[in-house]
Structure 1
Amino acid sequence: MRMRLTTFFAAALATASSVAMVSAQEAQRPNVLLILADDLGYSDIGAYGGEISTPNMDALAADGMMFTNFYTQASCAPTRAMLMSGLDNHLVGVGQQSPIPIHVEMRPGYEAKLNHRIATMPELLQDAGYRTIMAGKWHLGSEPSRQPHKRGFDESLAILEAGSAHFNQKQMGVLQGYGFTFLENGKPVELPEDFYTTTYFTDYLINTIGEGGEEPFFAYAAYTSPHWPVQAPDSFLEAQRGNYDAGYDVIANQRLDRQRELGLAPQSDEPRRFMDGHRPWDTLTDEKKAFSARKMEAYAAMVANLDHEIGRLIDHLKSTDQYDNTFIMVLSDNGAEGVARGRPDWIAAQNFDNSLENVGRKNSFIEMGPEWAQVSSTPFRSVKYTAFEGGNHVPAIAHFPKNIAPGRTDAIATVRDLLPTFLELAGTGHPGIKFKERDIFPISGSSMVPHLFGEDDTIHDDDAAFGWELNLFSSLRKGDWKLAFVPAVSDQFQLFDLSSPEGEWKDRMEENPDKAREMMRLWKAFVKSNNVEVDDQLRPASARR
């Protein structure tokens, strides 16, 4: 029978894994530090098989719980909506990534901004007596009433849009005609000349967390790294020189071999498979090889820098005696970015220098490219935005000294589970359907605390099904079975056995008709429960996209 904690302050907790737990008399409400990377691929962290030096995240994984089945949404804003609400993104206003054209009929739930039918994570923790702090990417609405300081954060330094250049480049945003807005507690910020996103956000968090106080803190480090454009400080760029000259085919298989050794990928002698349109490294000219390798060097430099800044946060907590009582959660918001954006005219018009020698520096504007993104997604198929595992199966680490036994879990968890987890750690609960005189949705996520603290083998019931839909791409997982609709691959749903070496490369719909019918019934239930717009074939409807 499933056991659940009624409060973090209950009696001393006996655990199946023999973790030494603090007693009720010694317990304090823990601080919570949530670290969200932007477009970090599953295998980019060393602990997940990557070659990039990430000692700080690796140390958290070694001393904490490393998830192998953690899911977000397949893109930035929908994931953040789920994180903040504990609900599916279609219910809370972010059924799609970007607003639809104003002349098209708006479907409720698809406004592309977080609605007010929820109590947000910081609002609930603030109400429970936590000091709430944020630094980084918001991407959930730019109107004053939807900004972080109006949605529960006591202190916030936020970029409102999808991202920005990582250095101080006032003349541009990340998309044509698309500026970026930095606000501190709702007021415009003048960026310093030596600005670099990841360092700037870390400085703010360190200064705002300070020495600690009577109130526990909830700190949300919403980094924009390693989101494109790939840019990093020179010292981090230089450290990566030559590391990717062997090419993406070789690096991908090296990662896959390490993952097999670590038990993170099915045992097989098959090499890494890539999506259709993959250009084998050996077919590239020497010039294209050099340019491609340089782009991955810049991406790797961003990941190494991100790890360095996470290390600075951890060092601050240790130096101020706050580390042992801080629950740390690290994850990515979705899979690696694989869109080939090329070099549109507007970049050239802004006088960017995308020469080989300048890739990754302040006045360059480059993305990593689809092949390297698939390296980041190893061992999964595809990348961000899609319904394949490479879209939303992400690295995730939970760390809490003396409370979480070091190890690895293959229990399925989702970003919706973070809100109820943090509430349980805070010794409070969700208010249900009413919060501060407004009607809200009850949450659908489950607390991970019993599992992390060794009281339960799972997080969700064995028969639980998990669904996702975004911009036509749709999927549903139950156990090792997965249903997926990927428009670029097929005009019908496909069925995959994730436990097999073939994974998402072999459609099993025809050979397993009973399982296919069961999964389609579950998909229909997910659609009805979460405001997902579909056509009469139960496929995502495209009329309003």
Structure 2
Amino acid sequence: MKRLLIGLLLVFLFNEGFGQTKKPNIVLIVVDDMGYSDLGSYGSEIHTPNLDRLASQGLRLKEFYNNAICAPTRASILTGQDQHQAGIGYFDLNLGLPEYQGYLNKKSVTLAEVLRQNGYSTLMSGKWHVGNDSTAWPNQRGFEKFYGVIGGGANYFDAKPMPLRGVPYPVTLVENNVRLHPADNSYYFTDEIGNHALKYLDEQNKTNRPFFLYLAFNAPHWPLQALPEDIAKYKGRYDIGWDSLRKERLERQVKLGIRDPRQTVAVRDAEVPNWESLTYDEKQLWKAKMEVFAAMVDRMDQNVGKLLAKLKELKKDDNTLIVFISDNGAPAENVAHGIRAGRNTGPVGTAGSFEAQGKNWSFVSNSPLRSFKGGLYEGGMSSPFIAWFPGKIKPNTQARGTVHLIDLAPTFYELAGAEYPKTFQGTAINPLPGRSLKGLFLKGEELQRPEPLFWELWGNRAIRKGKWKLVSAFPANKWELYDIENDRGETKNLAAENPQIVKSLSLEYLEWANKNNVVLDFNLINPRSALEIKMN
């Protein structure tokens, strides 16, 4: 009996952290509408020392794919499922079909539900955007603690409704199912998201459990609103205009090794004018927009720094995996929703401003990639990816990929030793389609993905298999073929030269679409009138 008790004690101590089976803490940081090149470690001039530190001490991916827009991306993040299988094939609108119901379904379990069942504290601060009904809020989908907005966006200085094409868009700010009504100009939302994450970590530290923290910043999503001290850092930096700035970023990407100089860069978007063609007043407005955008990214990075300091203070930094991504590429809107509604009541950057970054600067943000948020060219669906795990991930490493959102869940579950259920609360659960990145993280093994990746969004379609990418833009619906290994900028359509490849890949797409109940004719469900009153 004495030997048995000693043995049980040793097993307990081993599992509690005195051996190598100690469960890691997991932090997933997601930012909103930030382009591929907007971090210093991906070529930017924006001051992001904390994320750059994670990159230099960890892993960066050159090819990481999201679902090109907010809600579908978050559906795949949270469930590890294709967006349609999770119930958000279109957006957070119910289009009357299970795959397009607009909120997470019950056959797709969340990261929080799985990890909580496997002994983790589950914490979230930030943007939800995968279900407006209270039955689908974070606390009802596995998160023990939650602070943030339920819908697609918010002001940064108040919780008043947003002007969206003349229609008020409600902002539902919540903490643990309780609606909050903070005074106007009493906070800055990015800081509040960061501060609540720190508060939850302090509270969680009283337990002996590992934690999963989903930190979903709203920044730098429209509207462009930032703190004066952050804007001041960038005064005059963007006087050079987008033409010169893009050239700077492209050159810096080569020096960083994040871009192969032999690969193509995207052709200038036809709607982006030459900087020198603008009037003096136009230049003043446009450079102010980018100053504010940079300030928003900067403040987000400052909050990442506070998170790192808290982990060190709690002595948990040496056993915490941090993964950082953006939900989609920089957006395409040239005219802010608020301006259309006639609601601008202050200069760009202030609480009364509803300006947007616009294609002109978004084209720079997405360098060297083509197109914008919402499209399935590389600029809409590619994100920076940083993974940091001290002593586990080799410092300052880079890999090509090709990795997708659906690979996060199996990675986290394998590293956590978490069992993925076949049923949950009486419902049969979808199997996970993604692949674990454990070998890539811990051993530097290149991810092997013999099967293709597929996308459908708003009638836009894409498939990536090996070096090939087949893509079509709605409503033209004409397949284009690109060799992504050599033509990341998607500058040369090879479809006419390779009809058999187009035919083969398109048949694979059709098989995938039928298997996942993807509507093949988007016109049958296209809710254009509803889109006019929704936030993305």
Which residue of structure 1 aligns with residue 170 of structure 2?
179
Which residue of structure 1 aligns with residue 112 of structure 2?
122
Deviations 1:187-225 (A, max 9, x none): 111325421111001111101111723011111101100
Which residue of structure 2 aligns with residue 337 of structure 1?
331
Q: Does the Cα contact within 8 Å between 2:139 and 2:145 map onto a contact in 1?
A: yes
Tell me, yes or no, if structure 1 residue 52 matches structure 2 residue 52: no
Match of 1:543 among 507, 514, 524: 524
Match of 1:381 among 370, 375, 381: 370
Tell me the amino acid that sits aligned with residue 256 of structure 1: L
Q: Does the Cα contact within 8 Å between 2:103 and 2:131 map onto a contact in 1?
A: yes
Percentage identity across aligned positions? 34
* 1:421 Cα deviation after fit: 1.1
**In the aligned structure 2, how far is the partner of 1:344 from the partner of 1:231?**
13
Which residue of structure 2 aligns with residue 246 of structure 1?
240
Q: Does the Cα contact within 8 Å between 1:252 and 1:272 map onto a contact in 2?
A: no
**In the aligned structure 1, how far is the partner of 2:344 from the partner of 2:402?**
47
* 1:64 Cα deviation after fit: 0.6
Match of 1:286 among 280, 290, 293: 280
Deviations 1:233-292 (A, max 9, x none): 110011111111111111111111111223333425987622222211121111111111
Q: 1:345 to 1:384 in 2, by over 3 A?
A: closer
Q: Does the Cα contact within 8 Å between 2:249 and 2:367 map onto a contact in 1?
A: yes
Tell me the amino acid that sits aligned with residue 204 of structure 1: H
* 1:342 Cα deviation after fit: 3.9
Which residue of structure 1 aligns with residue 459 of structure 2?
472
SS in 2 for 1:276: coil
CA RMSD of the aligned region, Å?
Answer: 2.1
* 1:394 Cα deviation after fit: 0.5
> For residues 21-420 of structure 1, what are the structure 2 equivalents within 5 Å?
25-99=19-93, 106-170=96-160, 172=162, 176-192=167-183, 193-210=185-202, 212=205, 213-267=207-261, 273-342=267-336, 347-348=341-342, 350=343, 352-353=345-346, 358-406=347-395, 407-420=397-410
Q: Does the Cα contact within 8 Å between 1:70 and 1:393 map onto a contact in 2?
A: yes
Which residue of structure 2 aligns with residue 459 of structure 1?
447
Match of 1:443 among 432, 455, 468: 432
Q: 1:163 to 1:345 in 2, by over 3 A?
A: closer
Deviations 1:461-515 (A, max 9, x none): 3x22101110011111111110000136x44110011122474111100111222
**In the aligned structure 1, how far is the partner of 2:163 from the partner of 2:442?**
43
Q: Tell me the TM-score normalized by structure 2.
A: 0.90
Tell me, yes or no, if structure 1 residue 504 matches structure 2 residue 480: no
* 1:126 Cα deviation after fit: 0.5
Q: 1:79 to 1:271 in 2, by over 3 A?
A: closer
Deviations 1:26-46 (A, max 9, x none): 441111111000011100000
Q: Does the Cα contact within 8 Å between 1:135 and 1:156 map onto a contact in 2?
A: yes
SS in 2 for 1:132: strand
Q: 1:471 to 1:129 in 2, by over 3 A?
A: same
Q: Does the Cα contact within 8 Å between 1:230 and 1:366 map onto a contact in 2?
A: yes
Which residue of structure 2 aligns with residue 517 of structure 1?
503
Q: Does the Cα contact within 8 Å between 1:266 and 1:501 map onto a contact in 2?
A: no
**In the aligned structure 2, how far is the partner of 1:412 from the partner of 1:491?**
25
**In the aligned structure 1, how far is the partner of 2:65 from the partner of 2:514?**
21
Which residue of structure 2 aligns with residue 493 of structure 1?
479
SS in 2 for 1:273: coil
* 1:457 Cα deviation after fit: 2.3
* 1:376 Cα deviation after fit: 0.5
Deviations 1:414-454 (A, max 9, x none): 1111111111121122113x123212211111111122110
SS in 1 for 2:300: helix
Q: 1:210 to 1:95 in 2, by over 3 A?
A: same
Segments of 5+ residues of structure 1 without an aligned counterpart are 1-9, 11-22, 536-540
Q: 1:464 to 1:196 in 2, by over 3 A?
A: same
* 1:168 Cα deviation after fit: 1.4
Q: Does the Cα contact within 8 Å between 2:407 and 2:437 map onto a contact in 1?
A: yes
**In the aligned structure 2, how far is the partner of 1:501 from the partner of 1:418?**
27
Deviations 1:301-336 (A, max 9, x none): 101111111101111111111111111011101111
SS in 2 for 1:510: coil
Q: 1:351 to 1:403 in 2, by over 3 A?
A: closer
SS in 2 for 1:91: helix
* 1:52 Cα deviation after fit: 0.6
Q: Does the Cα contact within 8 Å between 1:164 and 1:173 map onto a contact in 2?
A: no
Hey, which of these two has a bigger chunk of helix by percent? Answer: 2
Tell me the amino acid that sits aligned with residue 70 of structure 1: F
Q: Does the Cα contact within 8 Å between 1:274 and 1:382 map onto a contact in 2?
A: no
Q: Does the Cα contact within 8 Å between 2:164 and 2:337 map onto a contact in 1?
A: no
Q: Does the Cα contact within 8 Å between 1:34 and 1:219 map onto a contact in 2?
A: yes
Q: Does the Cα contact within 8 Å between 1:331 and 1:396 map onto a contact in 2?
A: yes
Q: 1:503 to 1:344 in 2, by over 3 A?
A: closer
**In the aligned structure 1, how far is the partner of 2:460 from the partner of 2:377?**
9
Tell me the amino acid that sits aligned with residue 187 of structure 1: V
